[in-house]
């Protein structure tokens, strides 16, 4: 048990007692006991995968406590009601650049969303947003979508969103990972200024940068789910007798891990005068629309050189790398690998290159061994060598004991190693590595660089690598500084460090960036002027008990979902236009009038009377007569081929027998492959046969007797002309208003789960109901618009008479689309992946709505489970309303029992979704 | 092109599916329970048709007519009064309502040709047509039989012997189950390839493939064969064990030939799935596209209503849809026991459609993947 207590006299902001956490079999946190002091800056250090993020998520209330006790701000976090009470005093910024932001929303809209969640009124929101954006230097970009911001700006935006409600506890999970040194500096200056104005605020930060951590008040060093040590940075250095935190951390590690560590020494590259050029880029440019991602980049890299690429996220590094690999064709300029121009079709060059992309892009469904083997095979490693090569490379990257595991079960650092192993399995002559070491612990990073050194110096492999770590950059032969699509400087680390009279490479880099930023006049951390943020109105959001249902929070979600929908015009158009197109297709396409049926006759009588009989049937508008049947074999063949729907055989001597009053029998064969059609044909033939008989009887003189004993007057009600359109169109509207709205809502929740922004729901006081109803509202509105459009089409284009109460139909539609979207939301909360939600929605809407809801056959005629589904499925009831109001001239009083099931369905579906939606990650 | 790459990448696709239990459960569901539900839902067109009788005569004859309607064709008739009739029909409780006037029996026997009114809810197209024909026949037969006891009626001795081939009892579940399998084949082929492609793109794995010595053609082919194989196997098992075994539908024809047809259909639909995957930029967009494509394929291919009754324009457009041909192949082989000499034009169509879709998608593949990565 690792027990670490700070001075007990200090006030604590969080108290953890024997906390454990497991993900399946993996132990993420073990017996954590920790008192986190209030009012200061506490750093959690250690590589990724050691449990820092899990620990912070537990403290923020984003993750469910499995075992142990956690008190935050004096409240037991396991108690849901208590937790809700203090959530407004906590702010959490999760790991990952802009993870909890909404990429299509503007800077303003993002902050505004959070402000609304905390119930601030319009004036207050405006004031705070102006102050925060001015303080963070985001003010000039207030209308830019968050997805188009650079990494550093995204993190500043995340900070604005976190600070909008004046939290007492600010939790930042690796806020500066993947951010350039200048932005990193500005970020910490910003935090410093905010803390100066709000001294009571506690800040918890996880970081992988030891230089940053050195400036914090206290530190918690973690490894393998345990706390190694806790205390002031100076104490840690003193304890371990080291000079830097990085060294101190290594010293704190258990003995076996430490033993693997060696200091990295990469021998200098021998100067070859005529070294072969491995990579060359000339005026390489990439534009996406009006945005220039890479602007005229030039470089030449010799064989065997380690070339480092530095710059913030979004500066164009990744795009440049993609152009070199042929993934992206450049807008302008050229690039050569080994003297051959980059060509996506050139497979030979690809075999000589290993590429590791920034995000983990291996198959998480395949085990480590399977991944290695698959890539070995794809790179055409000879079959007999595959086994040996796999073992070799696994040993080199320390993967031997995880060969059977799935990548998802491995810590990030191990996965990065796997990615690298995969990139090197075919012994490439060149490696293009996009941030291969982010999230890897210092020891592993050093081991990794040792491998790189060996590859470069011993095997002559050219290495093109991007990184954020300055100590890694210093190990490169040459580095290039990139910013906003342009290369600012190229040279050896020493040359660059000496520029601008800077002390270190980092300072020099910052100087370059500042100069570039000044030139463009962008993104400067402006001074925080007279702070009024926290003095004036602290604050209605904190005081009092939070309400169980706050319409403002719901509206906040509704507004955001609406904005996202508006920013995705393709989806909006698809939803509206899709309904219209489907209506056209289905309205005109589906018809119950069975016509143009093929018929042929085997007339073995060939008399006038047999011709008369044939004409009676084949000449009607329902049939099209084909050439006569020659014999039974012909009949059989043509029926098998589906060329005849009906075959009639008139026996020899038909006319003669008829005249003599002898019984005769006409044969008729119907193609029964499609039973509904066959039944219609049967009815037609019977009718025509009877009609012919009575005509003959009349002609024969005993007309009166046969004319019938009884008249049957058939009245086709509601649709006197028995037109398919009139029957179908009011039935197609309910069908479409189920399929599209359900599909729209089906991805609403699960998408946030998959992409990570669901965390905002976990850590704010939003309730499940507010969240769900807020998300549902815009889709209901969109579906109602679609309803009006479809109804208009029905009346004008299809000329279906509307006879009943429009108010009743509209109210029915409102209830119905609410039920349809609620069904989508239910599936969305239930499913874990978007693809499953999508599939399930298709399965659970298409069949029941089209087949079991009375569109073709009335529900009362169904059997078995289909009948049950039909009885409770919302489409059934809206179909009754739609047909009732369109064709039957009905209104509310006649239809109330169709409204009732819809009125029940909506709260039941929403209620179920709310029950299934977890308020914490588990 | 390296066939080995295609093989290895395809095996990888199979592993991906194996590791996704939700998808597996859904695949199994649509090929078993869903088919069963569908088969047992609607045995015949005129099944349990709701009918009501307004009997203003209260005579033995009117009683006889009322009693002539019984399950399974009709639900036992509700005897109601005139006022209830309109309300019940408005509420959609009855599809048919018969009104027998007062003094009906007396008028019949006196040869005065009284009139029975038959009200039909014509918004229910499927029952309205067939049902009213049945009802007229039944009433006529009952009245004739009743009158025969009192006097003879001269008739012409011509009989028509109607026989339905390939499905003598016109059992609707035969058709419904096979069409259910067909709809599932299409839906799965599109979802498994298209949605999976978008997921791979959202997770960056396609991009990863494109930097390896693997061509887009190999990537596409691997998806086509692996997902095609999954659906082919599932549909074959479903036909043998669920449709033939569990539901007892007697399928005719060469099963092998039908599987070849299915494979061709899968070639076209998996290519279509990948195509949709290159058009949609995100999963929500794909979801909508899926609905836009699936619904017409399902409703207009001839699997729901007969093709020849559709407007000519729709018939022509639907010739470009693989489903239309696949539905014809299924009907011809599985019900009519037709051989290759009959279905070859449909086979050719499927090959053509598949090749065009595949070629077009291949041309888009690299471009779209790279620009959205």
> Are residues A315 and A442 part of one domain?
yes
| Most A CBs within 10 Å, among B5, B19, B162, B252, to test the A interface | B162
> Are residues A438 and A475 part of one domain?
yes
Could B210 and A578 be called an inter-chain contact, meaning their C-beta atoms sit closer than 8 Å? Answer: no
Pairing relation of β-strands A277-288 and A291-302? Answer: antiparallel
A13 neighbors A38 (Cβ within 8 angstroms) = yes
Rounded Cα–Cα distance for residues A148 and A151 (Å): 9
Residue A498, domain extent: 277-352+428-520
A578 touches chain B (CB under 8 A): yes
> Are residues B290 and B240 part of one domain?
yes
> Which range, A24-33, A183-192, A776-785, B145-154, has the best average confidence (pLDDT)?
A776-785
**Closest listed residue to residue A234, CA positions, set A217, A210, A246:** A217
Rounded Cα–Cα distance for residues A677 and A717 (Å): 23
Cβ under 8 Å to B: A residues 788-847: 831-836, 838-843, 846-847
Query: How many separate domains does chain B show?
Result: 2
Could B308 and A596 be called an inter-chain contact, meaning their C-beta atoms sit closer than 8 Å? Answer: yes
How many C-beta neighbours within 10 Å does residue A126 have? Answer: 14
B172 neighbors B45 (Cβ within 8 angstroms) = yes
SS3 of A598, please?
Answer: strand
**Closest listed residue to residue A749, CA positions, set A904, A919, A908, A907:** A919
Give domain status of residue B90, yes or no. yes
A638 touches chain B (CB under 8 A): no
The ipTM assigned to this model is: 0.85
Q: What are the structure tokens assigned to A85, written together? A: 């009470």
Give domain status of residue B154, yes or no. no
Instruction: Please state, in angstroms and as integers, the Cα–Cα distance from residue A635 to each residue in A177, A508, A626, A765, following that order.
Output: 78, 92, 12, 75
Final residue of a domain: which of A671, A706, A741? A706
Query: Could you give the angle at which helices A874-887 and A724-746 cross, rounded to 10 degrees?
Result: 140
Q: What are the structure tokens assigned to A495, written together? A: 């040359």
pLDDT of A342-359, one tens digit each? 887 777 777 888 888 776
A103 neighbors A567 (Cβ within 8 angstroms) = no
Rg (CA), chain B: 27
Q: Which member of A669, A711, A840 has the closest CB to residue B116?
A: A711
| pLDDT value of residue A701 | 64
A861 vs B contacts (CB less than 8 Å): 42, 47-50, 127
Final residue of a domain: which of B111, B146, B181? B146
Rounded Cα–Cα distance for residues A181 and A479 (Å): 15
Average pLDDT over residues A561-584: 89
> Are residues A64 and A13 part of one domain?
yes
B154 vs A contacts (CB less than 8 Å): 697, 702, 705-706
Could A722 and B211 be called an inter-chain contact, meaning their C-beta atoms sit closer than 8 Å? Answer: no
Instruction: Please state, in angstroms and as integers, the Cα–Cα distance from residue A346 to each residue in A342, B50, B204, following that order.
Output: 8, 70, 21
**Closest listed residue to residue A178, CA positions, set A483, A438, A509, A433:** A438
> Are residues A653 and A578 part of one domain?
no
Q: Which member of B87, B170, B283 has the closest CB to residue A834?
A: B283
pLDDT of A16-32, one tens digit each? 999 999 877 778 888 88
B96 touches chain A (CB under 8 A): no
| Most A CBs within 10 Å, among B42, B297, B311, to test the A interface | B42
Domain containing B132 — which CATH number? 3.40.1710.10
> Are residues A781 and A679 part of one domain?
no
| Partners of residue A464 on adjacent β-strands | A307, A432
DSSP label at residue A479: E
Is the confidence at residue A523, as pLDDT, over 60? no
Give domain status of residue A530, yes or no. no
Is the confidence at residue A80, as pLDDT, over 70? yes
First to last CA, chain B: 24
| Most A CBs within 10 Å, among B168, B284, B339, to test the A interface | B284
Final residue of a domain: which of B113, B146, B179? B146
Q: What are the structure tokens assigned to A590, written together? A: 């589906």
**Closest listed residue to residue A740, CA positions, set A895, A921, A578:** A578
> Are residues A661 and A578 part of one domain?
no
> Are residues A743 and A670 part of one domain?
no
SS3 of A741, please?
Answer: helix
> Are residues B321 and B233 part of one domain?
yes
Rounded Cα–Cα distance for residues A154 and A101 (Å): 8
Torsion of CA A198, A199, A201, A203, to 10 degrees: 110
Domain containing A240 — which CATH number? 3.40.50.300
Instruction: Tell me how many residue pairs between chain A and chain B have CB atoms under 8 A apart.
Output: 475
> Which is it for the CA torsion B181, B182, B183, B185, positive or negative?
positive
DSSP label at residue A331: S
Give domain status of residue A536, yes or no. no
Could A666 and B38 be called an inter-chain contact, meaning their C-beta atoms sit closer than 8 Å? Answer: no
| pLDDT value of residue A680 | 82
> Are residues B116 and B63 part of one domain?
yes
Give domain status of residue B160, yes or no. no
CA A143 from chain centre, in angstroms, equals: 24
Rounded Cα–Cα distance for residues A418 and A399 (Å): 7
Burial class (CB within 10 angstroms; exposed 0-12, middle 13-18, buried 19+) of B371: exposed
Q: Which member of A570, A595, A717 has the closest CB to residue B285?
A: A570
> Are residues B296 and B239 part of one domain?
yes
pLDDT of A635-647, one tens digit each? 988 888 888 999 9
**Closest listed residue to residue A118, CA positions, set A749, A562, A540, A531:** A540
> Are residues A602 and A492 part of one domain?
no
A737 neighbors A813 (Cβ within 8 angstroms) = yes
> Are residues B36 and B57 part of one domain?
no
> Are residues B222 and B133 part of one domain?
no
B199 touches chain A (CB under 8 A): yes
Instruction: Spell out, as residue ranges, where chain B has pLDDT lower than 70.
Output: 42-45, 151-156, 366, 369-373
Give domain status of residue B107, yes or no. yes
Give domain status of residue A383, yes or no. no
> Are residues A197 and A112 part of one domain?
yes
pLDDT of A378-428, one tens digit each? 888 888 888 999 998 888 888 888 888 888 777 767 787 888 888 888 888
Q: What is the mean pLDDT of chain A?
A: 84
> Are residues B256 and B178 part of one domain?
yes
B332 touches chain A (CB under 8 A): yes
> Are residues A282 and A235 part of one domain?
no
Could A831 and B22 be called an inter-chain contact, meaning their C-beta atoms sit closer than 8 Å? Answer: yes
> Are residues B355 and B292 part of one domain?
yes
Q: Give the distance from residue B320's alpha carbon to the nearest chain A alpha carbon, in angstroms.
A: 15
> Are residues B263 and B215 part of one domain?
yes
| Partners of residue A44 on adjacent β-strands | A206, A220
Give domain status of residue A150, yes or no. yes
Cβ under 8 Å to A: B residues 101-120: 108, 111, 113-120
> Are residues B31 and B57 part of one domain?
no
| pLDDT value of residue A492 | 87
| pLDDT value of residue A5 | 43
A159 neighbors A93 (Cβ within 8 angstroms) = yes
CA A570 from chain centre, in angstroms, equals: 16
Could A586 and B336 be called an inter-chain contact, meaning their C-beta atoms sit closer than 8 Å? Answer: no
Pick A718 or A129 by higher pLDDT: A129
**Closest listed residue to residue A468, CA positions, set A294, A249, A308:** A308
**Closest listed residue to residue A776, CA positions, set A749, A754, A797:** A749
> Are residues A887 and A784 part of one domain?
yes
Q: Give the distance from residue B312's alpha carbon to the nearest chain A alpha carbon, in angstroms.
A: 9
pLDDT of A527-557, one tens digit each? 434 343 443 344 444 444 566 788 888 898 9
Q: What are the structure tokens assigned to A39, written together? A: 């009012």
Give domain status of residue B163, yes or no. no
Q: What are the structure tokens assigned to A9, written together? A: 């006299």
Final residue of a domain: which of A654, A680, A706? A706
SS3 of A477, please?
Answer: coil
Residue B225, domain extent: 3-42+171-372
Query: How many separate domains does chain A show?
Result: 4
| Most B CBs within 10 Å, among A587, A629, A835, A899, to test the B interface | A835
B148 touches chain A (CB under 8 A): no
DSSP label at residue B335: I
Could B128 and A676 be called an inter-chain contact, meaning their C-beta atoms sit closer than 8 Å? Answer: no
**Closest listed residue to residue A297, CA positions, set A176, A464, A410, A504:** A464
Rounded Cα–Cα distance for residues A652 and B77 (Å): 44
Give domain status of residue B354, yes or no. yes
Give domain status of residue B268, yes or no. yes
Could A666 and B158 be called an inter-chain contact, meaning their C-beta atoms sit closer than 8 Å? Answer: yes
Give domain status of residue B83, yes or no. yes
A728 neighbors B132 (Cβ within 8 angstroms) = no
> Are residues B320 and B199 part of one domain?
yes
> Are residues B177 and B73 part of one domain?
no
> Are residues A246 and A316 part of one domain?
no
Q: Which member of A678, A726, A864 has the closest CB to residue B37?
A: A864
Give domain status of residue A540, yes or no. no
């Amino acid at each position: 048990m690792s027990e670490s207590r700070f001075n007990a006299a200090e006030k604590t902001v969080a108290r953890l007692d024997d906390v454990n956490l497991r993900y399946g079999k993996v132990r993420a946190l073990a017996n954590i006991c920790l008192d986190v002091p209030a009012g200061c800056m506490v750093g959690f250090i250690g590589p990724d995968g050691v449990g820092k993020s899990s620990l912070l998520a537990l403290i923020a209330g984003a993750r469910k406590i499995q075992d142990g006790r956690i008190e935050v701000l004096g409240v037991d976090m396991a108690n849901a009601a208590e937790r809700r009470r203090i959530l407004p005093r906590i702010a959490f910024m999760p790991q990952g650049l802009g993870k909890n932001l909404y990429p299509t929303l503007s800077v303003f809209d993002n902050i505004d969303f959070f402000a609304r969640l905390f119930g601030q009124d319009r004036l207050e929101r405006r004031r705070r947003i102006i102050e925060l954006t001015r303080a963070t230097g985001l003010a000039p970009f207030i209308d830019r979508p968050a997805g188009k911001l650079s990494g550093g700006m995204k993190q500043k935006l995340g900070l604005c969103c976190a600070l909008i409600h004046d939290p007492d506890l600010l939790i930042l999970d690796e806020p500066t990972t993947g951010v350039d040194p200048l932005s990193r500096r500005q970020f910490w200056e910003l935090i410093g200024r905010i803390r100066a104005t709000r001294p009571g605020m506690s800040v918890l930060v996880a970081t992988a940068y030891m230089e940053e951590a050195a400036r914090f008040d206290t530190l918690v060093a973690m490894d393998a789910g345990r706390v190694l040590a806790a205390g002031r940075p100076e104490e840690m250095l003193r304890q371990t007798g080291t000079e830097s935190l990085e060294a101190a951390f290594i010293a704190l590690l258990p003995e076996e891990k430490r033993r693997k560590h060696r200091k990295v020494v990469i021998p200098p590259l021998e100067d070859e005068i005529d070294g072969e050029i491995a990579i060359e880029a000339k005026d390489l440019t990439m534009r996406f629309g009006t945005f220039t991602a890479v602007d005229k980049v030039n470089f030449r890299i010799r064989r065997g050189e380690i070339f480092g690429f530095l710059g913030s996220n979004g500066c164009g590094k990744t795009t440049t790398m993609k152009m070199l690999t042929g993934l992206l064709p450049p807008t302008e300029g050229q690039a050569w690998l080994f003297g051959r121009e980059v060509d996506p079709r050139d497979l030979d060059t690809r075999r000589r290159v290993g590429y590791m992309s920034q995000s983990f892009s291996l198959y998480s469904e395949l085990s480590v061994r399977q991944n290695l083997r698959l890539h070995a095979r794809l790179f055409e490693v000879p079959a007999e060598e595959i086994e040996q090569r796999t073992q070799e490379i696994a040993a080199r990257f320390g993967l031997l004991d995880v060969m059977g595991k799935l990548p998802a079960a491995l810590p990030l650092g191990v996965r990065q190693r796997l990615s690298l192993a995969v990139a090197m399995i075919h012994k490439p002559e060149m490696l293009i590595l996009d941030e291969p070491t982010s999230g890897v612990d210092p020891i592993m990073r050093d081991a990794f660089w040792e491998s790189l050194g060996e590859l470069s110096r011993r095997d002559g492999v050219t290495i093109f690598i991007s990184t954020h770590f300055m100590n890694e950059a210093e190990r490169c032969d040459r580095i290039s500084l990139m910013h906003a699509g342009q290369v600012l400087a190229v040279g050896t680390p020493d040359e660059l460090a000496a520029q601008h009279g800077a002390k270190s490479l980092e300072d020099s880099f910052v100087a370059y960036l500042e100069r570039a930023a000044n030139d463009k006049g962008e993104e400067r951390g402006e001074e925080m002027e007279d702070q009024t943020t926290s003095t004036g109105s602290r604050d209605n959001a904190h005081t009092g008990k939070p309400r169980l249902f706050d319409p403002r929070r719901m509206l906040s979600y509704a507004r955001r979902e609406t904005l996202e929908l508006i920013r995705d015009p393709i989806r909006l158009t698809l939803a509206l236009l899709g309904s219209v197109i489907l209506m056209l297709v289905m309205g005109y396409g589906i018809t119950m009038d069975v016509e143009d049926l093929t018929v042929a006759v085997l007339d073995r009588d060939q008399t006038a009377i047999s011709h008369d009989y044939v004409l009676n049937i084949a000449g009607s508008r329902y049939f099209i007569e084909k050439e006569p049947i020659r014999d039974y074999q012909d009949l059989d063949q043509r029926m098998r081929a589906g060329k005849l729907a009906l075959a009639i055989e008139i026996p020899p001597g038909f006319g003669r027998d008829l005249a003599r009053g002898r019984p005769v029998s006409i044969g008729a064969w119907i193609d029964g492959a499609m039973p509904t059609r066959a039944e219609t044909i049967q009815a037609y033939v019977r009718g025509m046969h009877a009609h012919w008989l009575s005509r003959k009887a009349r002609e024969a003189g005993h007309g009166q007797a046969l004319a019938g004993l009884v008249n049957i007057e058939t009245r086709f009600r509601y649709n006197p002309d028995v037109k398919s359109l009139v029957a179908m169109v009011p039935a197609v509207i309910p069908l479409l208003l189920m399929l599209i709205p359900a599909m729209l809502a089906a991805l609403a929740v699960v998408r946030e789960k998959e992409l990570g922004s669901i965390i905002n729901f976990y850590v704010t006081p939003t309730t499940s109901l507010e969240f769900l109803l807020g998300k549902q509202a815009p889709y209901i509105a969109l579906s109602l618009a679609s309803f009006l459009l479809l109804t208009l089409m029905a009346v004008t284009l299809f000329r279906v008479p509307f006879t009943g109460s429009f108010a009743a139909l509209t109210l029915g539609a409102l209830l119905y689309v609410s039920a349809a979207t609620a069904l989508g939301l239910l599936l969305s909360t239930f499913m874990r992946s978007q693809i499953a939600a999508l599939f399930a929605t298709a399965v659970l809407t298409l069949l029941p709505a089209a087949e079991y809801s009375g569109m073709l056959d009335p529900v009362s005629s169904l059997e078995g489970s289909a009948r049950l589904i039909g009885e409770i499925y919302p489409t059934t009831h809206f179909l009754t309303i739609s047909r009732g109001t369109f064709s039957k001239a009905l209104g509310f009083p006649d239809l109330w029992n169709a409204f009732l099931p819809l009125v029940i369905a909506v709260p039941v579906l929403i209620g179920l979704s709310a029950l299934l939606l977890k308020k914490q990650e588990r | 092109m390296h066939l080995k790459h295609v093989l290895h990448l395809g095996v990888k696709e199979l592993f991906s599916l194996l590791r996704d239990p939700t998808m597996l459960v859904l695949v199994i569901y649509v090929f078993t329970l869903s088919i069963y539900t569908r088969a047992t839902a609607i045995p015949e067109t005129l099944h349990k048709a709701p009918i009501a009788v307004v009997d203003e005569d209260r005579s033995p004859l009117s009683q006889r007519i009322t009693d002539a309607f019984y399950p399974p064709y009709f639900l036992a008739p509700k005897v109601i009064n005139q006022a209830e009739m309109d309300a019940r029909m408005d509420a959609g409780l009855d599809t048919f309502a018969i009104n027998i006037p007062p003094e009906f029996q007396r008028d019949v026997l006196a040869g005065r040709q009284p009139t029975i009114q038959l009200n039909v809810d014509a918004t229910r197209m499927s029952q309205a047509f067939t049902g009213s024909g049945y009802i007229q026949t039944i009433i006529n037969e009952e009245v004739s039989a009743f009158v025969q006891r009192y006097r003879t009626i001269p008739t012409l001795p011509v009989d028509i012997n109607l026989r339905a081939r390939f499905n003598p009892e016109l059992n609707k579940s035969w058709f419904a189950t096979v069409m259910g399998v067909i709809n599932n084949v299409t839906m799965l082929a599109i979802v498994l390839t298209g949605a999976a492609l978008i997921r791979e793109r959202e997770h960056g794995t396609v991009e990863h493939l494109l930097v390896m010595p693997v061509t887009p053609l190999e990537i596409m082919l691997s998806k086509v064969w692996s997902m095609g194989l999954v659906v082919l196997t599932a549909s074959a098992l479903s036909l043998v064990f669920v449709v033939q075994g569990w539901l007892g539908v007697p399928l005719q024809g060469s099963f092998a030939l039908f599987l070849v047809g299915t494979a061709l259909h899968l070639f076209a639909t998996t290519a279509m799935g990948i195509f949709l995957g290159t058009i949609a930029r995100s999963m929500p967009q794909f979801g909508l596209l899926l609905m836009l494509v699936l619904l017409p394929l399902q409703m207009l291919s001839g699997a729901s209503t007969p093709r020849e009754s559709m407007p000519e324009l729709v018939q022509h457009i639907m010739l470009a849809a693989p489903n239309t041909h696949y539905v014809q192949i299924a009907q011809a082989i599985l019900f009519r026991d037709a051989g290759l000499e009959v279905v070859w034009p449909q086979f050719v169509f499927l090959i053509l459609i598949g090749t065009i879709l595949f070629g077009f998608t291949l041309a888009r593949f690299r471009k779209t993947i790279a620009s959205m990565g």
